[in-house]
Structure 1
Amino acid sequence: MDAPSLHSRFLGDVLPRIRQDARVAGMALTGSIAGGRCDVYSDVDLILVVDDEDYDAVMRERLVLIGSWTSLVAGFTGEHVGEPRVIITLVGPPLLHVDFKFVRTSDFAERTEDPEILWDRDGLLAGALARQPPVGVAFDLQWIEDRFWVWVHYGATKLGRGELFETIGFLTYLRETVLGPLAARRVGAVPRGVRHLETIAPEEARSLRATLCGYDRHEAGRAFLATVDLYRRWSDADEATVERRHHAEKLAVQYLHDIIDQDC
């Protein structure tokens, strides 16, 4: 672990306090710190491994427990990111974003990447990782292709109606769901939306600038066409393994052009 001083001080303070709870079997670190990619702006992503028989009780006490471990400023559960086991917090001051993920000992081995074990009470964490390898998150290009041209038509209807806030938001969705992951795959990186693209895929990040726009109908149309162009080019590498929806593509792109041409 090579963390900035604020992050290191937090971990040095919180670990002894967590270890005092006999229900906690161990503690691990994930995210950018564990991966050696952290900086002063990084979050701290912690996994608290709890004995199965005590898990429900700990889950009910999570915010109180976190408040006894550190200076809790605010915290809430992570349902909005599909992970209700996580408590997303600010601690401090100085302010630091920390995610506390509570998992059962029997579930700890289910992961997409290996964490860094900070403390392992009885060797259970290391044993679980040794017995079961991580399972990476697959990026399913066929799933994208089956939906992309429907999405293009949907976005074009918002542009045609003049709902520019909706259009701009939908272009952001396509960057995060489609183009960002494709850009990461082009450089052999793990797809994570548009995270870190400026660093890991600078050439692709420059190309993505064309998909940005201001609150202007013509700019939004140009950005939408750029989005379609990048999808076509960046997904071509997997042409042999993907069943292309050419008929849907032709009709949706023509519809988009018709919308864009309305004011020309």
Structure 2
Amino acid sequence: MHPRLIECLAAAELHFRSDPRCAGMFLHGSIGRGETDAYSDIDVCAVIEDEHYEDVKAEMRAVCERLFGPTVIWLPEGEQPRYCNFAFLFEHGDELLLTDFDIVARSLFVAWNRPPDRVLWDRDGLLSQAPRAHGPQAGLSGERLLRLIDTYWVYAYLDGKYMRRGDVFKMLYVQQTLFQVHVRMLCGHQTGDEGVWWAGDMARLSEHDRHRLLGYFSAADTDRVAEALSRCLDRFSEDAQRVCADLAAPYPIDRELAVRKHLATMGLRSGLRRRLQEPGRPVGSASGESHCDREELT
């Protein structure tokens, strides 16, 4: 990380510590996980008492320009009634540096019910105690799992007509949606939290899962997207069946088969095979190969 960013973070911490309207600060992203490198930026969040949130929000640009430097671009993102991320580029000599500075109202931070990656300071114990006080993450319920599976197969259905039309942009849209649903299912099952930003959430998954999920990305032409889709339908089916087995929830095989048959009639045949789990046998093995019989859909 650039030395100037470290200096600016220290100045921001000192400023907000002295402001009684702020309940604490924490780091997230690579700096919060302790994984910074020479290219890392600051990702910091200040928790603001509800009654002062709007006042602090109105002051943020002037405060950041004083603490960090002359602002070239000031970009409020993800704005909600009690939350906003301020992404800004600022000058340091001949260099241009980036910081993401979030502010969140105390009540919304409590409602998030998740511990910060790294607490900088905590005025009254809110940042470290709130998640425990309000209970652990509930994890992925059977009902939520079914909703994710249904979402996946409905969107997979759409790719049939988009492929027939040669509409690569809509195919890419569907591919992105399928990818994100797959990520949410795996994160929710493995960590108890579906996550909030897929690019960052990938770090919470195993190297094996990350490698498999890369299959959703392909060159931007219909044949390559269709080829990637065929592989990824199988991978999602395997993972969804495994999660269902772990949660003792039935996998809705009829829905998958109905969508696969439709896609086959639309011409998406390559790789369109479903992996049928035999009673009492696991879906996958340590080698990554499926123990399931395969049925070609024509």
TM range (shorter): 0.7 to 0.9
Q: Does 1:255 align with 2:256?
A: no
1:54 to 37, 48, 52: 52
Matches within 5 A, 1:159-170: 159-170=163-174
Query: Could you tell me which residue of structure 2 aligns to residue 118 of structure 1?
Result: 120
- Single out whichever of 157-166 and 34-43 deviates more from structure 2: 34-43
CA distance in 2, matches of 1:105, 1:113: 13
The alignment's TM-score, normalised by the length of structure 1, stands at: 0.78
Partner residue of 2:242 out of 237, 242, 251: 237
Tell me which residue corresponds to 1:97: 98
Q: Residue type matched to 1:166 in 2?
A: K
2-structure distance, mates of 1:33, 1:10: 14
Counterpart of 2:128 in structure 1 is 129
Offset of residue 59 of structure 1:
2.3
CA distance in 1: counterparts of 2:220 and 2:65, whole angstroms: 43
Unaligned runs of 5+ in 2: 270-298
Instruction: Tell me how far 1:91 sits from its aligned partner.
Output: 3.3
| Aligned position for 2:294 | none
Deviates more, 1:108-117 or 1:223-232: 108-117
- Work out whether 1:246 is the aligned partner of 2:248: no
2:275 matched to which residue of 1? none
Relative to structure 1, is the Cα distance of residues 205 and 52 closer, same or farther in structure 2, using a 3 angstrom cutoff?
closer
Q: What is the rounded CA distance, in whole Å, between the counterparts of 2:13 and 2:21 in structure 1?
A: 14
Match of 2:145 in 1: 141
Query: Could you tell me how far 1:61 is from its partner in structure 2?
Result: 3.0
RMSD: 3.4
Structure 2 counterpart of 1:216, from 209, 218, 221: 221
| Contact persistence 2:139–2:188 (CA under 8 A) | no
SS where residue 260 of structure 1 aligns? coil
Question: Which one of the candidate residues 140, 153, 173 is aligned to 2:157?
Answer: 153
The aligned amino acid for 1:210 is G
Provide closer, same or farther for how the CA distance between residues 65 and 213 of structure 1 changes in structure 2, counting only shifts above 3 A.
Answer: same
Q: CA deviation at 1:249?
A: 1.7
Question: Using CA pairs below 8 Å that are at least 6 residues apart, which structure has the higher relative contact order?
Answer: 1
Structure 1 unaligned regions, length at least 5:
none
The 3 A distance-change label for structure 1 pair 32 and 136 is farther
C-alpha deviations, 1:49-77, integer Å up to 9, x for none? 32333222222333333223322332222
Q: In structure 2, how many angstroms separate the alpha carbons of the residues matched to 1:7 and 1:30? A: 15
Matched AA of 1:73: V
> How far has the Cα of 1:168 moved from its partner?
1.9
Secondary structure of the residue aligned to 1:61 is helix
How far has the Cα of 1:224 moved from its partner?
Answer: 1.2
**How far apart are the structure 2 equivalents of 1:127 and 1:183?**
29
Using the TM superposition, give the Cα deviation of residue 130 of structure 1 relative to its aligned residue in structure 2, in angstroms: 2.6
Q: Distance in 1 between matches of 2:81 and 2:177?
A: 17
**Displacement of 1:128 after TM fit?**
5.5
